[in-house]
Structure 1
C-alpha cells in the first residue's frame, strides 16, 4: 500500500514512517521545511515539502503521489499554540481531505484525542458523546476535534485514533521537555494546561505505541478508537511518579478534579489486535529516566 503521511516529522510521524516501511508499505511523507523533508528522505520515504494550508500545492502533491491511504498526524504544538493546532484540525484537515478525495483516496487515519468525552462514570468508550457543551477554552478544542473527525469521515473509510496523553521521545513529557520545565517552575515553559496532583483521571499512551496503532489502523473499519494504555490514573497517582522520572519537584497532592477527566478504555483497540508495549504509564515513566 502507498501511504501518504501528513506530518511525517512530528512526534508520532517520525516513528510512524519507518514502521510503515518495515511493514512493506511505500511512503510519501510531508514536511513544511526543507530540513524536515530531508529527514523524511533519510528515513527511506519519498519526501514532499508542502504546507497543508496551501490548497493548490497540496492538491498537486497528493495527485502526484496518488496514494492508497492518508495518515493525518499534523499538529502545531512546539510553541504550545492551541489556536494554531485547532486551525490545523479544522482548516488543515479540510484541505487534506479535499486533496485526498480529489486524488481518489478511499482510506484515511487521523490523530484525535481521548480526553474530549463528556463527563460520566468510569473510563470513556467510543460510543459516548463528546463534551460539546464544555466552557472555553476546552469548548474550542472539543469542537476542533469534532470537526476533524467529521471531515475525515467524508472519506470512504475513516479511522479516528483517539490518543491518550502522549509521552516519550519528542513529546512534551520527555526529560528536559515542557512538562519538566513547568513542574520546575520555569515561567517561560511552553506548555498548555496545568499538571495537578488531584483526582482528575488521565489515560496515557507511549508515542511508539501510538505509531504502531496508526500502522494497524490501515486495516480497521471506520470510526473512532481509543488508543490508550491499560491503566487510567488519578493525578495524585501519576504526577509524583512522572516528577520523579523527570527529576523535578512534584506538586502537592490536592483534592478535587475535573468531571470530564475520566480516562478512556482501550477494549476496542485490543479487540482489533493492538497491544501496547507499554501497558502502564508506571513502567513507561520509569523508562524516561533511563
Structure 2
C-alpha cells in the first residue's frame, strides 16, 4: 500500500516507519526540516520536508505521493504548548484532510488522545462523549481534539486512535525527562487521578494495524487504568527518584480509558501493563 506518513520524525512516527517498510508498504514520510527528510530517505522512505500549515504545499505533496492511506501522527509534543498542539489538530488536520480528499485518498488514520472524555466514574469507552463543556485551559485541548476527529470523519474511511499517555523512548517519561524532573521537584502528585498508559511501541503497532480496521474511534491503552497513588511510586522506583507522599483529589475527567474495542479488533499490546513497561522503559 502507498502510505503518506505525516509526522514521521515524531515519537510514534519514528517507530511506525520501519514497521510500514518491513510490511512492504511504500511510504512518503514528512518532516519539518531538510535534515529530517534526509534521514527518512536514508531509512527507505521518500522523505519530504513539509510545513503542514502551508495548504498549497500539503496539497502538492499529497498529489505527488498519490497515497492509498494517510497516517496523521503530527503533534507539538517536543517543546510545544497546548495551544501549539491545538493549532496542529485544527489547522494541520484540516489541510491534510482537504488535500487527501482532493487527491482521492480513501483512508486516513489520525492520532488523538484518550483523556478528552467527559467526567465519569469508570474508564471511558469510545461511546462516551468528549468533554466539550470543560472550562479553560482544558477547553482548548478538547475543542481541538473534537475538530480533528470531526475533520478526519469526513474521509471515506477513517480511524481515530485515542492514545493513552505515551511512555517509553522519546517520551516525557524517559530517565532525565520532564516527568522525572517533576518527581524530583515535588510537582507530581500521587493522588486519585486515574490515567491510562500505552508504550510507544504498542502505539505504533496500533497505527499499523489500523490500516485494516473499520471506521471509528479506538482507545489505544494498556489493560490497567491506574490512579496516581498507584503508578507514581512505581515510576519513581523505576527512575530512582523519591516517591511523593500519597495525596487525595483529582478531576472527574481523570478516569482512564478502556481498551476492549482495540482488543476486539485484534490489537495485543506487548506491554499490557505500565507496571512492567515502566521497568523495561
- TM-score, normalised with respect to structure 1: 0.95
1:73 alignment partner in structure 2: 73
Contact 2:121/2:252 (CA < 8 Å) preserved in 1? no
1:235 to 228, 251, 269: 228
Matched, 1:131 2:120: no
1:269 to 250, 257, 262: 262
2:188 alignment partner in structure 1: 195
1:212 alignment partner in structure 2: 205
2:142 alignment partner in structure 1: 142
User: What SS is found at the alignment partner of 1:47?
Assistant: strand
* 1:66-110 deviation per Cα after TM superposition (whole angstroms, max 9, x unaligned): 000000000012114111111000000001111111111010000
Matched, 1:173 2:173: yes
Give how far 1:24 is off. Answer: 1.4
Contact 2:162/2:220 (CA < 8 Å) preserved in 1? yes
- TM-score, normalised with respect to structure 2: 0.98
* 1:12-37 deviation per Cα after TM superposition (whole angstroms, max 9, x unaligned): 00000000111111111000101111
User: What SS is found at the alignment partner of 2:41?
Assistant: helix
1:106 alignment partner in structure 2: 106
Matched, 1:8 2:8: yes
Matched, 1:286 2:274: no
State the alpha-carbon separation in 2 of the partners of residues 126 and 195 from structure 1. 28
User: What SS is found at the alignment partner of 2:268?
Assistant: coil
Provide the aligned length of Structure 1 versus Structure 2: 281
2:242 alignment partner in structure 1: 249
1:191 alignment partner in structure 2: none
State the alpha-carbon separation in 2 of the partners of residues 230 and 46 from structure 1. 36
Give how far 1:39 is off. Answer: 1.6
Give how far 1:183 is off. Answer: 1.8
Structure 1: runs of 5+ lacking an equivalent? 187-193
User: What SS is found at the alignment partner of 1:87?
Assistant: helix
- Within 5 Å, which residues of 2 pair with 1:2-41? 2-41=2-41
RMSD of aligned C-alpha atoms? 1.1
Give how far 1:38 is off. Answer: 1.4
Give how far 1:55 is off. Answer: 0.8
User: What SS is found at the alignment partner of 2:185?
Assistant: coil
Give how far 1:185 is off. Answer: 2.1
State the alpha-carbon separation in 1 of the partners of residues 58 and 99 from structure 2. 7
State the alpha-carbon separation in 2 of the partners of residues 176 and 223 from structure 1. 37
State the alpha-carbon separation in 2 of the partners of residues 257 and 12 from structure 1. 28
State the alpha-carbon separation in 2 of the partners of residues 52 and 107 from structure 1. 18
User: What SS is found at the alignment partner of 2:59?
Assistant: helix
* 1:254-289 deviation per Cα after TM superposition (whole angstroms, max 9, x unaligned): 01221111111100000000000000000000112x
Deviates more, 1:77-86 or 1:221-230: 77-86
2:119 alignment partner in structure 1: 119
State the alpha-carbon separation in 1 of the partners of residues 22 and 7 from structure 2. 19
* 1:43-79 deviation per Cα after TM superposition (whole angstroms, max 9, x unaligned): 1111011100111111111100000000000001211
User: What SS is found at the alignment partner of 1:184?
Assistant: helix
